[in-house]
Amino acid sequence: MSLAAQFAVQRGSLDLEVDLAVAPAHVLVLLGPNGAGKSTVLRVLAGLLRPDAGRIVLGDAVLDEPAAGRHVPPYERPVGMVFQDYLLFPHLSTVDNIAFGLRSRRVPKAQARTAARVWLDRVGLAEYARVKPGSLSGGQSQRVALARALIGSPELLLLDEPLAALDARTKLEIRADLRRHLAEYGGATVVVSHDPIDAMALADEVAVIERGRVVQSGPPGEVARRPRTDYVARLIGLTLLAGTGEGTQVRLESGVAVAVAEPAHGSVYVAIRPEAVAIYPTQPHGSPRNVWPARVASATPHGSAVRCDLTGPVPLTADLTATAFAELGLAPGSEIWATVKAHEVDVYAR
């Protein structure tokens, strides 16, 4: 079943207006900062919150259309949802948690439990059937919550920050599991996340939401390569600059010119990857056409590299190896020179 959701909702200071489409068996990841309205989108799709305007269609069924007075209540929607902290019912065993949805549909108890055990086995927790959720780990809870949402064969699956509550190591494992389950699932999936890695790992499509609006959407690779807002760029680690194309150079709003390889015209974005920025203690001479003085504003470990935020005529983010960082004797406040080769600068229309 495909989802087509176009709606607006006003809630406190949040003014949300989105237009989303998800094909069957596809995963849409809503990526955005906290408070952008991502979770509100899920609540509307689940039917827990009524939109003020618009239309939500799942397959052939209209779930919401305020203008026509239509609102299908959550308990009548073919929707499964995994909540941020899973919300497993503390008074029920894991098997009864998973069976809950079937029991709501008046499936006899024994039959529902048998089906729940099959799911418990499928998520690798067969021996935990009688355990209460309170004694499960975060990763185990997540799997139970996923099984609980999927057992009713929903046509739409909603996951609210499914990995946010997990520690780094569990996350890796659960993410791989989740990916496998989503690949087996035939319905449309909407995942909310603020973690770009989750988005890249799980998504067929990414929609970036900021302040209640979708600011960019597309395949994850495309969004990562060509971010359209500073938020996405920083998430990915890119430096994003707006300017005007003047052939093989782009004039930034600050007046500084950035040399580019591909001729560009009109309003454009310039994106620079942190590993494309080279740093010199003195002004270098030679091939790079982009040479700017800079000052190290901050330096943080980033994987095996050191990520430096640079201030200067062009604000940049640079990745250095730890060795290079040490050899150059860098520290916050160091005055350096930054260079970027013209063909390492990505230019695309705004």
Partner 1 sequence: MSDPAILYDPALDTRPPRSRRSRRTRRSEVSGSRVPLALLLPAILGIAFLVLPMVGLLIRAPWSDLLLRLAEPQVGQALRLSLITATMATVVSMILGIPIAWVLARSNIRGRSILRALVTVPLVLPPVVGGVALFLVLGRRGLIGSWLYETFGFSLPFTTAAVVIAETFVAMPFLIISVEGALRAADARFEDAAATLGAGGWSTFRRVTLPMVAPGVAAGAVLCWARALGEFGATITFAGNFPGTTQTMPLAVYLALQNDPQAAIVLSLVLLAVSLATLTLLRERWLTRA
Task: Print the binding letters for residues 251-270 with partner 1: x by CB under 8 A, - otherwise.
Answer: --------------------
Residues 101-140 that bind partner 1 (CB under 8 A): 101, 103-105
- Alpha-carbon torsion, ordered 239, 15, 194, 6, to 10 deg: -100
Q: What share of the chain is helix, strand, coil (3-state, %, to 5)?
A: 30, 40, 30
317/112 Cα distance (integer angstroms) = 54
Residue 125 Cβ vs partner 1, minimum distance, rounded to whole Å: 18
Residue 215 Cβ vs partner 1, minimum distance, rounded to whole Å: 17
CB count within 10 Å of CB 170 equals: 16
Give the neighbor-by-neighbor strand order of the sheet with 345-349: 239-252, 257-272, 345-349
CB closer to partner 1, 100 vs 348: 100
Give the number of residues in contact with partner 1, rule: CB under 8 A: 46
CB closer to partner 1, 7 vs 260: 7
Across-strand partners of 156? 79, 188
Q: Is 177 in the site for partner 1 (CB under 8 A)?
A: no
Q: Is 248 in the site for partner 1 (CB under 8 A)?
A: no
Handedness of CA 256, 261, 263, 268 (dihedral sign): negative
223-251 CB burial, b ≥16 within 10 A, e <16? bbebbbeebbbebbbbbbbebebeebbbe
Residue given tokens 């069976």 in the structure block = 99
Residue 189 Cβ vs partner 1, minimum distance, rounded to whole Å: 14
CB closer to partner 1, 238 vs 264: 238
325/308 Cα distance (integer angstroms) = 9
Please, are residues 233 and 314 in contact by the beta-carbon 8 Å criterion? no
Among 29, 149, 223, 316, binds partner 1 (CB under 8 A): 149
Residues 282-301 that bind partner 1 (CB under 8 A): 300
**Choices 50-58, 80-88, 283-291, 326-334 (CB under 8 A): range interacting with partner 1:** 80-88
Please, are residues 118 and 67 in contact by the beta-carbon 8 Å criterion? no
Among 4, 87, 242, 324, binds partner 1 (CB under 8 A): 87
How is residue 209 written in tokens?
A: 């939401």
Residues 25-54 that bind partner 1 (CB under 8 A): 33-35, 43, 46-48
Q: Which residues contact 38 (CB under 8 A, 6 or more apart)?
A: 30, 31, 32, 192, 193, 194, 209
Residue 114 Cβ vs partner 1, minimum distance, rounded to whole Å: 18
Residue 231 Cβ vs partner 1, minimum distance, rounded to whole Å: 10
Q: Is 235 in the site for partner 1 (CB under 8 A)?
A: yes
Residue 38 Cβ vs partner 1, minimum distance, rounded to whole Å: 11
Among 19, 177, 195, 275, binds partner 1 (CB under 8 A): 195
Among 22, 81, 125, 192, binds partner 1 (CB under 8 A): 81
Contact residues toward partner 1 (CB under 8 A) are 33-35, 43, 46-48, 73-77, 79-81, 83-85, 87, 89-92, 100-101, 103-105, 148-149, 152, 158, 164-165, 168, 194-198, 234-237, 300, 302
